[in-house]
Chains A and B, each alone.
Chain A
Amino acid sequence: MKTKQFTVVDPLGIHARPASQLVAAATPFTSSIELQTEQRTANLKSILGVMGLALKQGSMFTLHVEGEDEEQAFTALTKLISETGLAQ
């Protein structure tokens, strides 16, 4: 299991474009990939789940990756999250 904590920096919070990119990137991996906030946990392979977290600028979340390809999935997703300017 690999985890990392992020803070949303995008002024719009989590909106459709970065959310779509993350879901598209997460889907091919077999590992379980989740975003966890204080209140809820969402499947990162679900656009509705991710958008449903309604993360605003300044919100914190933790990325959890667990499974056979967790190394590759974790590297790819942490990179993408900062590249999209969504969170750091």
Chain B
Amino acid sequence: MIQLKGIAASDGIAIAKAYCLVQPDLSFAKTTIQDIDAEQQRLVAALEKSAEELAAIQQLTHEKLGAEEAAIFGAHLLVVKDPELIGPIKQKIAEEAVNAEYALNEVSTMFVSLFEGMDNEYMSERAADIKDVSNRVLAHLLGVHIPNPSNINEQVIIVATDLTPSETAQLDRNFVLGFTTDIGGRTSHSAIMARSLEIPAVVGTGTAVESIQDGDLLIVDGLTGDVLVNPTEDMVATYRKKAEDFTAQQAEWATLLNEKTISKDGVQVELAANIGSPNDLEGVLRHGGEGIGLYRTEFLYMGRDNLPSEEEQFTAYKTVLEGMEGKAVVIRTLDIGGDKHLPYLPLQDEMNPFLGHRAIRLCLEYQDIFRTQLRALLRASNYGNLKIMFPMIATLQEFCDAKAILLEEKENLLAQGVAVSEIEIGIMVEIPSTAVMADIFAKEVDFFSIGTNDLIQYTMAADRMNEKVSYLYQPYNPAILRLIKMVIDAAHKEKKWAGMCGEMAGDEYAVPLLLGLGLDEFSMSATSILKTRSLIKHLSVADMRALATEALQLTTSDEILDRVKQVVH
């Protein structure tokens, strides 16, 4: 048995024989031709056949996956019919008396390098589309078959170096149980397609093609990224059990998809998702998110060489608000500094960046940047249920200053005749000073969202990047629980709501305690939502209140964790 490790790209477990999808040999020699007309005709015939195939694939993709996924083949079709591609190839054949294969390759390589050279990720990725189209035409010229996975008629797992968009689209869900590739990551085209087809996939294994033969028995574990080649019978039995459990769990979760989150004794809470970009929306809806509890806007500012414009931000916020169709969307204003830097905004090196000039502290100094973001948010407020949240608030003054700037921008927009909706304004509670003063803050803010990752590191004075002190990162420490209780109680006293957007909100052992402490909103990664909804359905808030009260009197993190495990299981 060989075990390969890759990137878990699409959930689920597949067990089946390998089908190696290896590209045919597309090598050719440069030759001199006599009959130019005949050679040009050969090219035209290959282009026509390619166009027919692409139209068929487009149709198939449209039926299986929908218009959006099929659109890429519409673009491929335009490429095989492109006069600026065909003209120069024909010209090359005529002027240099070379074979069509050579002329095609020369011209398409020119376009590929043109696109690859663009300083724009989107455009350089289009180079792969041109290669895909050009290989299809080349295969027709050479009379070789591009493997046609749509012909597969038994259950298999596809093994490939990478899967091109056209290959992935041809995979028949009834026969292709999963796939594994040598290259790619979670956001590569093949991984995205696997998730929309809902078949397990492990990408980026590095050596799948060389390690696996056609017909080998394979297990692809899309949950962990493991690929097992010719596993033992025991292994197969173990994985069959794991696959069954996964399927059963998926079935239970699917029934909870459009349900509210209600405890055994009838208390309703809200399960929201943390996102970093509008692209994450699809996952939120697919996993039954009841709102967005944290939209980290810093990703709009990262991986580029200039500040995002107001218009660009407006579009992103509007997309998210519209996508959530009136459900609450909490957008956090820029949280930069600490471990997150912008290449175009040089900041001084600091001894303790996490205790330094970051988030709201930075925004209150660089007001141009802050005001641009606030304007984009205010304008977007008309498209859904927006709530704005300021990060890293340590003093009431900071909140008042930030809110004053927000209201000033709002007045400016209203004066210009731009409509702005009512917006709740809240803060992240991640600094102990704010947790301790929560009763005072609660009179001023509309809501709290507890950021546990930072709250824990600041309360325990333990850098979460430093392994030597990682033992101090203790979500169940009674000190943390007491702070959380103070925040929730303070909010409720003023009839405000309290949420949590740190990792703790989706932790199966923290959820019972948080439920008992009265947390109103739990915001987590989308993939944890259905699991948490199922968990809460089985818990009674009254029982959890008793558990939390008991936990607050315990001495250590371990004692509390043990106690939760006893009660929950």
16 more contacts with CB within 8 A, not counting A16-B72, A16-B126, are A11-B311, A11-B315, A12-B122, A17-B71, A43-B83, A47-B75, A47-B78, A47-B79, A47-B82, A48-B82, A51-B115, A52-B111, A52-B114, A54-B118, A54-B120, A57-B309
In the assembled complex, the Cα of A57 lies from the Cα of B65 at a distance in Å of 30
B71 x A51 contact (CB < 8 A): no
Contact B120 A20 (CB under 8 A): no
Query: Beta-carbon contacts of A7-48 to B below 8 Å, as 1s and 0s?
Result: 001011101110110011001000000000000001101111
B115 to A: closest C-beta gap in Å: 7
Q: What 0/1 pattern do residues 305 to 342 of B give for CB contact below 8 A with A?
A: 00001011001000000000000000000000000000
- Choose one: B84, B118, B309, B315; the contact of A48 (CB below 8 Å): B84
CB distance from B312 to the nearest CB of A (A): 5
4 residue pairs, one from A and one from B, having the closest CB atoms: A46-B84, A47-B78, A11-B312, A49-B84
Asked if residues A15 and B122 are in contact (CB atoms below 8 Å), the reply is yes
In the complex, what residues of B have CB within 8 A of residue A24's CB? Answer: 78
Instruction: Assess A46 versus B83: contact at CB under 8 Å? Given A17-B71, A24-B78.
Output: yes
Question: CB-nearest residue of chain B relative to A9?
Answer: B311
Within B282-325, the residues touching A (CB, 8 Å) are: 309, 311-312, 315
Q: At the interface, yes or no: B85 with Cβ under 8 Å from chain A?
A: yes
A42 CB contacts on chain B under 8 angstroms: 84
Cross-chain contact A43 with B120 (CB below 8 angstroms):
no
Q: Please, which residues of chain B bring their CB within 8 A of the CB of A11?
A: 309, 311-312, 315
User: In the assembly, what is the distance between CA of A45 and CA of B86, in Å?
Assistant: 12
- State the majority secondary structure of interface residues on A: mixed
Which chain B residue shows the least CB distance to A51? Answer: B126
Give the residues in chain A near B315, CB-CB below 8 Å. 11
Chain B minimum-CB-distance residue to A85: B315
A20 and B74 contact, CB distance less than 8 A: yes
Evaluate contact between A13 and B111: CB separation under 8 angstroms.
Answer: no
Q: How many residues of B contact A (CB 8 A)?
A: 24
Closest to A47 in B: B78
A18 CA / B138 CA spacing, docked (Å):
28
User: Complex: how many Å from CA A42 to CA B83?
Assistant: 11
Tell me whether B123 is interfacial, beta carbon within 8 Å.
yes
Q: Which residues of A contact B81 (CB under 8 A)?
A: 27
Do the beta carbons of B84 and A20 come within 8 Å of each other?
Answer: no
Q: At the interface, yes or no: B544 with Cβ under 8 Å from chain A?
A: no
Near A by CB (< 8 A), chain B positions 98-126 give 111, 114-115, 118, 120, 122-123, 126
Query: Is A46 a contact of B71 with CB atoms below 8 Å?
Result: no
Selected from A16, A27, A49, the residue in CB contact (under 8 A) with B75 is A16
Does A48 lie within 8 Å of B71, measured CB to CB?
no
Whether B378 sits at the interface, judged by CB under 8 Å, is no
- Chain A residues lying within 8 Å of B118, measured Cβ to Cβ, are 54
Q: Which residue of B lies closest to A23 (CB)?
A: B78
- Known contacts A16-B72, A17-B71; A46/B85 CB under 8 A: yes
Instruction: Choose among B78, B123, B126 the residue with the greatest number of A CB atoms under 10 Å from its CB.
Output: B78
Chain B residues at the A interface, C-beta cutoff of 8 Å: 71-72, 74-75, 78-79, 81-85, 111, 114-115, 118, 120, 122-123, 126, 130, 309, 311-312, 315
A33 CB to nearest chain B CB (Å): 11
The interface residues of chain B lying within 8 Å CB-to-CB of A12 are 122
Given contacts A54-B118, A56-B120, A57-B312, contact A48 B75 (CB under 8 A): no
Shortest distance from the beta carbon of A14 to any chain B beta carbon, whole Å: 9
| Max chain B Cβ within 10 angstroms of own Cβ: one of A11, A19, A27 | A11
| CA of A46 to CA of B86, assembled, Å | 10
Hey, which chain A residues are within 8 Å of B75, CB to CB? 16, 19-20, 47
Q: Which of chain A's residues have a CB closer than 8 A to the CB of B115?
A: 51-52
Q: Given the complex, which residues of B lie within 8 Å of A57, measured CB to CB? A: 309, 311-312
In angstroms, Cα B82 to Cα A1, docked, is 24
Within 8 A of B (CB), among A43-84: 43, 45-49, 51-52, 54, 56-57
On chain A, the residues within 8 Å of B120 by CB distance are 13, 54, 56
Among A11, A13, A51, the one with the most B-chain Cβ atoms within 10 Å of its Cβ is A51
A-B contact pairs, 14 of them (CB 8 A): A11-B312, A12-B122, A17-B71, A23-B78, A42-B84, A46-B82, A47-B79, A48-B79, A48-B82, A48-B130, A49-B82, A52-B115, A54-B123, A57-B309
Cα-based distance from A53 to B315 in the complex (angstroms): 24
Docked CA distance A11–B75 (Å): 20
**CB nearest neighbor in B for A43:** B84
B111 close to A48 (CB less than 8 A)? yes
Task: Note all chain A residues with C-beta closer than 8 A to B309.
Answer: 11, 57
Do residues A51 and B123 form an inter-chain contact, with CB atoms below 8 A? yes
- Closest B residue to A46 using CB positions: B84
Closest to B76 in A: A47
| CB closest residue in chain A, given B316 | A11
Distance from A80 Cβ to chain B, minimum over Cβ atoms (Å):
15
- Rounded to whole angstroms, the CA-CA distance of A54 and B120 in the bound complex is 8
Nearest-Cβ distance from residue A28 to partner chain B, whole angstroms: 12
Q: How many angstroms from the CA of A87 to the CA of B133 in the assembled complex?
A: 28
Question: Which residue of the partner chain A has the closest CB to B117?
Answer: A54
Residues of A within 8 A of B123 (CB): 51, 54
Q: How far is the CA of A7 from the CA of B104 in the complex (A)?
A: 34
Q: How far is the CA of A11 from the CA of B78 in the complex (A)?
A: 23
**Chain A residues near B71 (CB-CB < 8 A):** 16-17, 20
Query: Which residue on B lies nearest to A58, using beta carbons?
Result: B309
Q: Which residue of B lies closest to A17 (CB)?
A: B71
> What residues of B have a CB within 8 angstroms of the CB of A52 in the complex?
111, 114-115
What's the Cα separation between A42 and B315 when bound, in Å? 29
Separation of A17 and B123 alpha carbons in the complex (Å): 13
- List chain B residues, Cβ under 8 A from A51: 115, 123, 126
Taking CB atoms, residues of chain B closer than 8 Å to A49 are 82, 84
A16 to B81, CA, bound (A): 15
Give the distance in Å from the alpha carbon of A19 to the alpha carbon of B129 in the complex: 15
Assembly CA distance A26 to B74 (angstroms): 15
Q: Is B83 a contact of A45 with CB atoms below 8 Å?
A: yes
